[in-house]
Amino acid sequence: MKLTKLASVALLSAGVLSAAGAQADIAGVYAGTSLWQPSLSGSFKADSDSSANNSDLESTLGFDDSSATSLFIAIEHPLPLIPNIRIERTHLSETATTKQSGTFLGTNYSTNKKAKLDLSHTDWTAYYELLDGLGWMAFDVGVTLRNFDGEFKVDTKSLDLNAPVPLAYGKADFFIPATNFSVGALVNYLDIGGATVFDRRFYAAYESDFIIGAELGYRSFSLDLSDVDDIDADLSMSGFYAGATVHF
């Protein structure tokens, strides 16, 4: 099944959300960058290798901990019905050296061969603020189009993962009274057509009186694909991250 077929789901979701959108009272721009250090686990194989075992990330391919960087910008405004926009780029690419032999795309590989896992992606999110400044809470809901532009590679054989995936988007924040601190969560989710994507973050944030802020949290990203672009995969990446933010 092609991931591009899933993109039509995003159009329906966006239409439903626009009917009930609430917006910020004033315009604002948020931006930030973060460093995420996840542990990698799981396995993958080409669906065409029907008789081959999945290649385990750790014991077979030699992957261990990784390091990923993210950049985001969000633009909020008071215009009715028009959604706010958030764009985020995550660079998540790691290489390893195989520890055991196996098969990928019909070709046998031995030990000490190069393996690459690239799950880099760009998120394009349209969202509405259902709660904005109501007491000490804020709640956003929307839809994300996640465009993967990575690959699975072992030795000389590779499979591209390069297609948009629509995800539900939700973000909630609780602002601790009489302080500049808050806690929150951000979730993206999809479970349809042989693809399950679940990306969630839990964080504590601080925003100073001088535009800049900081965020410390935990991100967990899981990807389960069954015959999607000839890829079968069950992958999980989890770990702490730290970031800096600005708010105009």
In this predicted structure, what is the pLDDT of residue 25? 55
**Cα 39 from Cα 16, distance rounded (Å):** 37
Q: Which amino acid is at 150?
A: G
Q: Please report the pLDDT score of residue 134 as a whole number.
A: 64
Token duo for residue 147: 């465009």
Q: Residue 6 has what pLDDT?
A: 43
> What was the pLDDT predicted at 51?
65
Q: Which domain holds residue 42?
A: 3-247
pTM over 0.75: yes
What residues of the chain score a pLDDT lower than 50? Answer: 1-21
Q: What is the pLDDT of residues 121-178, one digit of tens each?
A: 999 999 999 876 666 899 999 999 999 999 999 999 998 988 789 999 999 999 999 9
CA distances from 5 to 1, 10, 12, 36 (A): 8, 11, 13, 30
Q: Which two tokens stand for residue 10?
A: 């995003």
* CATH code of 158's domain: 2.40.128
If one counts the domains in the chain, the total is 1
What pLDDT score does 227 carry? 77
Are 63 and 15 in contact by the 8 Å Cβ rule? The answer is no
DSSP letter for each residue of 179-192: SSEEEEEEEEEEEE
